[in-house]
Amino acid sequence: MKKLWVILLLVAGAIGTFSWDEAGGHPHKTPHFHPTPLKLTIPRGWPQPPTNIFAHNPLTEEGFQLGRKLFYDGRLSRDGNFPCASCHEQFAAFATYDHDLSHGFNNQFTTRNAPPLFNLAWARSYNWDGGVNHLELQPLVPITAPNEMAETLDSVLARLRKDPVYPRMFKAAFGTPIINSQRMLKALAQFVGSLVSYNSKYDKVMRGEATFNSAEARGYALYKARCSTCHPEPLFTDYSYRNDGLSLNPYLKDVGRMRITGDPADSLKFKVPSLRNLSVTFPYTHDGRLYSLYNVIDHYSKGIHVGPTLDSSLRKAVPFTEQEKDDIVYFLHALNDTTFEKDKRYAQP
């Protein structure tokens, strides 16, 4: 009996004060709450994600569907016009199609190119400078930025609470109809973190379901020789921060990683982006300055700006021949995944 008393006291202590997974949707804590578990797709041959981003946010069908609805809902922005999906469009692999910078509230531009959203569960940090350390925290940036969604969490949550549908969906996802910032952020992370793109021709070749044509095969060899140190298979990025020879943008004056670390050695270093789905994510790089894939290849061929933080692997770049440029572009096109861009599970509900 004494033991029971101690256990109960511990329980009382645990709920009487804040605990870090409070309301985190731990299904076993709420009786009669049995959401449908989901598993993150980890394609055959891929590494395990470096950390489990769902460790304190069990992935469920209900959580995913709530996140999906939130992602497409304009009410997360001040004037209703800028849901996440306004800058992250599915047909553009969740980048902003054909925009160097995206549009936000009150005719303002974002200060960086909107990256596509896929395979984020493998990333270790988010944004071009890696300033966001957990996927759940990412939405705080656009929601509160005056040039993006221009909102406060308070008013977003007030709107969701008044909605006839959301309380039901929060209950289905987390066991009770309570709507708070943590649950909203966790649901968004469930949707965005589940976006996995792995059905390009390249993937089919690796699975033995297709073969490269000769141009793609030559391009693949060139890629391995010249690009794979920073953009390694199968994710086509190592998620490190590097200076790949782009000079400082004189208008935006964006120093990249240094903005976060304050370390001059990080000046002009940006997170290496994936090379998947490039056919729909142009223009390229953090400020969208390279419009086409040929612009990108020309950059690596003879456009490298040599500065103190330039990556050592690019210090003596050999120019590509016209044939080689074509071959690399053929290979890059083999990394497009049109099933991802059309997947109905990721579409507007």
Partner 1 sequence: MMKPKVFNRGKAFLLAAVVFTGLSFKEARTKTTQDPATLRIVFSNKVGARDLVLRDSTYENPFGESYTVTRFRYYVTDIFLGTTGRQERIRHTYFLIDQGIPASWVAEVKIPAGSYHSLGFLLGVDSLLNVSGAQTGVLDPMRDMFWTWNSGYVMAKMEGNSPASTQVNQKFEYHIGGYSGPHKVLQTIRLPFDKVQEFHGGETCTIYVDADLNAWWKSVHEFRISEHPVITTPGLLAREMSENYAHMFHIDKIVPDSH
Relative orientation angle of helices 293-302 and 322-333, to the nearest 10 degrees: 130
Nearer to partner 1, 187 or 230 (CB): 187
Tell the residue number behind the tokens 């996995």, with chain if given: 196
User: Taking each helix axis from N to C terminus, what angle separates 61-71 and 181-193, rounded to the nearest 10 degrees?
Assistant: 100
**What type of residue is 285?**
T
Q: Which residues bind partner 1 (CB under 8 A)?
A: 2, 4-5, 8-9, 11-20, 22-23, 29-31, 33, 53, 56-57, 127, 131-137, 140-141, 144-145, 153-154, 175-176, 178, 180-182, 185-186, 189, 259-260, 262
**76 contact, one of partner 1, ligand HEC, none, CB 5-8 Å limit per kind:** ligand HEC
Report d(CA 237, CA 140) in Å as an integer: 25
Among 89, 148, 203, 324, binds ligand HEC (CB under 6 A): 148
Pick 30 or 237: Cβ nearer partner 1: 30
260 binds, among ligand HEC, partner 1, none (CB under 5 to 8 A by kind): partner 1
- CB burial of 269-282 (b: ≥16 within 10 Å; e: otherwise) equals bbbbbbbbbbbbbb
Binding flag, residue 78, ligand HEC (CB under 6 A):
no
Q: Which of 51, 228, 206, 35 is nearest to 123 (CA)?
A: 51
Whether residue 76 contacts residue 83, with contact meaning beta carbons closer than 8 Å, is answered with yes
**Closest CB to ligand HEC among residues 35, 231:** 231
Residue the block writes with tokens 């790949």: 244
Q: Choose between 313 and 339: whose C-beta lies nearer to ligand HEC.
A: 313
d(CA 62, CA 169): 7
d(CA 202, CA 166): 40
How far is Cα 297 from Cα 327, in angstroms, rounded to an integer?
11
Q: Which does 281 bind (CB under 5 to 8 A by kind): partner 1, ligand HEC, none?
A: ligand HEC
Work out how close the CB of 168 gets to partner 1 at its nearest, in angstroms, rounded to a whole number: 15
Q: Using the minimum distance from each CB to ligand HEC, give the nearer residue, 56 or 124.
A: 124
How many residues interact with ligand HEC (rule CB under 6 A)?
49
Binding mask 193-232 for ligand HEC (x = CB under 6 A): ---------------------------------xx-xxx-
What crossing angle do the helices spanning 181-193 and 166-174 adopt, rounded to 10°? 70
Closest residue by Cα to residue 245 from 297, 167, 197: 297
Binding site for ligand HEC (CB under 6 A): 71, 76, 82, 84, 86-88, 102, 104, 110, 112, 114-115, 117, 120, 126-128, 138-139, 142-143, 148-149, 188, 192, 226-227, 229-231, 242, 244, 246, 270, 272-273, 275, 278, 281, 284-286, 296, 300, 311, 313-314, 328
